[in-house]
Amino acid sequence: MKLTQPLFPVSLLALAIATQAGASVSVDEQKAVSEYLNRFYQSTQEVMNEVPAKYNLKGEKIEPTTIFTKEQIESNDFVLEKDLFRTDIIRKPSSDKKSRKKRSPIQYNDNPARLVDNGNQLIKNIHTIDAKNLRSAKLNEQPWSDTYWPLYKGALGDRYGDSGLGYQNNWYDYWTYANQTNPPQNYVNNGNIDALSPSEKYDLLVGDSNYTLTSSMWKMGKGYFDSNGSVERWMGLCHGWAPAAYMLPRPKNTVTVKSPDGVDIKFYPSDIKALGTLLWAEASPRTRFIGGRCNTKNPKQDENGRVIDQQCFDNNPGSWHQSVVNQIGVSKRSFVLDATYDYQVWNQPVYQYSYTYFNPESGKAFDSAKDAMIKLADFSRDKFKKYRGNATYVVGVQMSMSYMVETSPTHRSTDTPRYDGKTTVRYTYDLELDGQGNIVGGEWYNNRHPDFLWTPGPDSRAVSMYNPGGNWQKGQPIPSNWKGYATYVSRYDQPLTSIVEQLFNWSAGQ
């Protein structure tokens, strides 16, 4: 809908005046806030149901790729598909099954202290956050990008470096090429080991002539193919990549190792990432998470487009804001976000954030909550008045969040952060505050927001069913007693932790 009359000043002169008046934010920040709120107050329902715009590193608006089909997006079936995988992360459904009309107060299953590393010392006062200069922060180390190793390509059985593979139409065509027309042993016999898939290289490394891990990779998609005649392209290992990207060091260099027969095998950074992704997908420890499960494709909305069902729009903005500031800003460690109703955000590790405050009544942007907050009783334009909790003040926030996205695997011999994929998205919401400035709730100004956050603990390891001790000397085959364990756990889709972690350490130079 085209705007006919601006509700807030957006001209450069007005923006300059606003800044001189004490807003202390850039012209671009004020403009972004003003333009969004103009549209929000004039077309609330429409804006509430938009997919948030995504931006590249240059600040240019982009159309990110999605792993869901057009039909899944238009029908909202992707919501149910996400819920299937989310169940594995949660391990059990939330005990809080009651749907509440008022969502603003932060619920137990949405408590940020359960997610962040500094949960016992959670900073939840907005003035303390400002005093500690936490309005922006980024991690010291950027999580690494990887593909999600889709099942329709055989997961880690994908011979991504095989020039003869070309483009296949479906799981069966990929399977036929890799298992019938061009079985892996042919590549070994011809000395073309470089073209093997990550799982085939692993099987060769552990002396498994039956290629057990590779067989397990193809079986991941076979059940779906046998039942439905196809394997959905969204199915993959993104739930393994997302935590592995910051729990394991970046593989920087190619590592050459020997098979039990003395054959040299090159593991490129992409091969090593693949094994880490699989390990964290199939042998992950229990995770911390906040947010609920929503398996409703089209939850009911009120007249403003606000989702009514409690389970379908956690996280509360107050939980989200505290989680981001405390985990990225204070603990300097990533977490994984998922926006249920945004088909472009699914299990993405967070890298950095920055935000601007705004007065939700006037639309003016500020760099401190003290200047932007107003009494809730004075918020005459409040679209969510009937949902408010027991708060004294309210302050608006527009946050720019950067997270890592998937990339394609390559035979590049080195890997650096410049090869990663990264996307920035802007979320707008308000925070409800008590009389002292503690965050007690809030409201989203868009339904397609992060609503499920999770992470392993800082000292967690993904440990395979068996993980023998001993040392693997560089330039030598793996210890002979590892081979039996490796073959056994391969039946359960797991690489051996000892092998994976050593490859990562060698590649990272540790």
Domain ranges of the chain: 47-144+304-455, 151-285+462-508
188 and 258 Cβ atoms separated by less than 8 Å? no
More confident residue, 86 or 60: 60
Share of the chain above pLDDT 70, in %: 90
Average pLDDT score over residue span 329-333:
98
Which range (80-89, 108-117, 329-338, 369-378) has the least confidence?
Answer: 80-89
H runs (alpha helix) in 283-405: 317-324, 369-372
409 and 366 Cβ atoms separated by less than 8 Å? no
Residue 107 — very low, low, confident or very high, per pLDDT cuts 50/70/90?
A: low
Q: Which residues contact 319 (CB under 8 A, 6 or more apart)?
A: 106, 110, 111, 112, 290, 291
Residue 346 — very low, low, confident or very high, per pLDDT cuts 50/70/90?
A: confident
| The pLDDT of residue 215 is above 90 | yes
Q: What is the pLDDT of residues 234-286, one digit of tens each?
A: 999 999 999 999 999 999 999 999 999 999 999 999 999 999 999 999 998 88
Residue 2 — very low, low, confident or very high, per pLDDT cuts 50/70/90?
A: very low
Q: What is the pLDDT of residues 406-450, one digit of tens each?
A: 999 999 999 999 999 999 999 999 999 999 999 999 999 999 888
Helix (H) or strand (E) holding 487: helix 480-490
**Cis omega before residue 315 (within 30°)?**
yes
Collapsing DSSP states into helix, strand and coil, what is residue 448?
A: coil
Residue type, 307: V
pLDDT, mean over the chain: 89
Computed from CA positions of residues 194, 197, 200, 206, in that sequence, does the dihedral angle turn out positive or negative? positive
